[in-house]
């Protein structure tokens, strides 16, 4: 049975990603900052007959929490097959370039960028023991620098001084990570789940959580011939699913 760790998985897209991977036969470690909320999420899944799941406490903003989670998971399994870096924040809106508090921008980067790096580095040894390791970095279509400079793009006027650069940086890190592991069995991709109605955006998005999670799951379950080092976004590019960087 393949194993997967999903950060920020006690609700919304992360929770649905856990559900769909459980339905595909994965054993899910459901990452959450609040262990009580994580247990509630696990109980919900178990009530649906999805029993191969347990919560793991992990706060991606805390190196101590990440290391504790690594130690905990290492006591449960030697091999991690999939890492889904799902935890993320938008920060207080709006975020104009000249007026947004620098501390808010730092906090957005701490979660969306540095947190992903810290978690990936902490669990990479377990992933390397997998025969088909997969890393999915959940990004945003707003992280495309190319499209952010295209006045014809439907989201051109959505400019967020913390969130957009943090996701652009995450995309860049994904590219470097995929390059560094290019001669291995790793498949490492950035996935935009789309503008989805969640707590993240006050349920303003037109997309559904199941559809959003399915995009993440698709990249998490790529076969040996699957792509690596790509930025997938059905929202940005409905024809091919591959977004401009």
Residue 32 sits at the vertex; the CA angle it makes with 27 and 33, to the nearest 5 degrees, is: 160
Instruction: Round to whole Å and give the CA distance between 205 and 152.
Output: 20
Please write the tens of the pLDDT for every residue from 20-79.
999 999 999 999 999 999 999 999 999 999 999 999 999 999 999 999 999 999 999 999
Q: What is the pTM of this model?
A: 0.96
Catalytic site residues? 140, 167
Please write the tens of the pLDDT for every residue from 146-193.
999 999 999 999 999 999 999 999 999 999 999 999 999 999 999 999
Positive or negative: CA dihedral 121, 88, 165, 4: positive
- When pLDDT is cut at 50, 70 and 90, the band that residue 200 belongs to is low
- By three-state DSSP, how is residue 97 classified? coil
């Amino acid at each position: 049975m393949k194993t997967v760790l999903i950060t920020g998985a006690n609700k919304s897209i992360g929770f649905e990603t856990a559900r769909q991977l459980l339905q595909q036969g994965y054993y899910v470690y459901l990452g959450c900052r609040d262990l009580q909320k994580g247990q509630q999420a696990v109980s919900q899944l178990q009530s649906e007959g999805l029993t191969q799941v347990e919560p793991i406490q992990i706060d991606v903003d805390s190196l101590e929490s990440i290391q504790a989670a690594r130690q905990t998971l290492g006591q449960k399994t030697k091999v991690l097959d999939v890492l889904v870096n799902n935890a993320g924040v938008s920060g207080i809106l709006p975020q104009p370039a000249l007026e947004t508090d620098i501390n808010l921008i730092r906090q957005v980067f701490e979660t969306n960028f540095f947190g992903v790096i810290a978690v990936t580095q902490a669990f990479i040894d377990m992933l390397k023991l997998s025969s088909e390791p997969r890393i999915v970095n959940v990004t945003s279509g707003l992280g495309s620098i190319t499209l952010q400079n295209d006045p014809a793009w439907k989201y051109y006027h959505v400019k967020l001084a913390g969130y957009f650069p943090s996701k652009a940086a995450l995309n860049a890190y994904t590219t470097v990570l995929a390059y560094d592991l290019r001669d291995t069995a790793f498949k490492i991709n950035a996935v935009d789940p789309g503008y989805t109605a969640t707590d993240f955006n006050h349920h303003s998005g037109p997309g559904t959580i199941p559809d959003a999670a399915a995009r993440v799951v698709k990249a998490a379950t790529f076969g040996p011939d699957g792509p690596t080092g790509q930025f997938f976004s059905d929202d940005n590019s409905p024809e091919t699913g591959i977004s401009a960087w």
